[in-house]
Amino acid sequence: MANKSRGIVFLGAPGAGKGTQAVMVAKDLDVPHISSGDLFRDHLKRGTELGKLAQTFMDKGELVPDDVTIGMVKERLGQPDCLNGFILDGFPRTVPQAEALDAALAEMGKCISLVPYLRVRESMLMERLTHRWTCKACGAVFPYEAQPPRTGCKKEHCDGDLYQRADDNPETQKRRIEVYMKQTAPLITYYRQRGLLIELSGEHTIDYVYRILQDAIAISKYCGE
């Protein structure tokens, strides 16, 4: 690869802190943050057919079928802002998605350079997910107590409204974690075998995890090195 591009894939259960860290790393590296969940929520907001289909799965905490999801993310990765790299958050979530991603990146002359895996105990995941606010405008996530909704987002001058995601309720949440264990956790082995995985505890503070990540990214290779 001619340019110094980086492709980073965040792995971890719902509530592990992937989104929070992914946004920070993307800003740091000046590459797009691509969240498959956000892409679906955007389709939902716009009332597209894809959005309507996705909602039936999202409401239940199930995964949207692979073919639909892969097509959507491939299209996003092909956009010009991904030329120097990308941060994937929430994709891939199944082994077929990971394989399709490898094939698509190879076709585009891109690659994955690092896969940070944020490990968090299940009891803490449940606690975090049922107690968080999400910003409608920028997608930032806050613990309930730290950011009461009346104050709005305030992150990086954002003034978006805070809301509780429809799928952040205990029943759907439980299902999302089950689905993660069964369908997504095998990706830990998938990426470890390819020498791309770094495993870190996501139970520390946001800043602490971010520092470890910054160090790991600094010493990781660029694509093609």
Active-site amino acid positions: 18, 93, 132, 165, 176
Task: Give the footprint of ligand AMP on residues 175-214 (CB under 6 A).
Answer: 176
Binding track, positions 123-162, relative to ligand AMP; x by CB under 6 A: ----------------------------------------
**DSSP annotation of 116:** E
The reply on whether position 63 binds ligand AMP by CB under 6 A is yes
The per-type count for the chain, helices as H runs and strands as E runs, is 9, 8
Stretch that binds ligand AMP, among 89-97, 108-116, 143-151, 199-207 (CB under 6 A): 89-97
Q: If you ran DSSP here, which 8-state letter would residue 94 be given?
A: S
Among 17, 37, 85, 116, indicate the residue that binds ligand AMP (CB under 6 A): 37
| Structure tokens belonging to residue 154 | 């305030």
Task: For residues 104 and 98, give the distance between their C-alpha atoms in angstroms, rounded to a whole number.
Answer: 10
Nearer to ligand AMP, 6 or 176 (CB): 176
| C-alpha pair distances (Å), 12 with each of 94, 112, 147, 187 | 12, 16, 24, 10
In this structure, are residues 88 and 9 in contact, taking their beta carbons and an 8 Å threshold? yes
**Which residues of the chain form contacts with ligand AMP (CB under 6 A)?**
14, 36-37, 40, 57-58, 61-64, 69, 90-93, 97, 167, 176
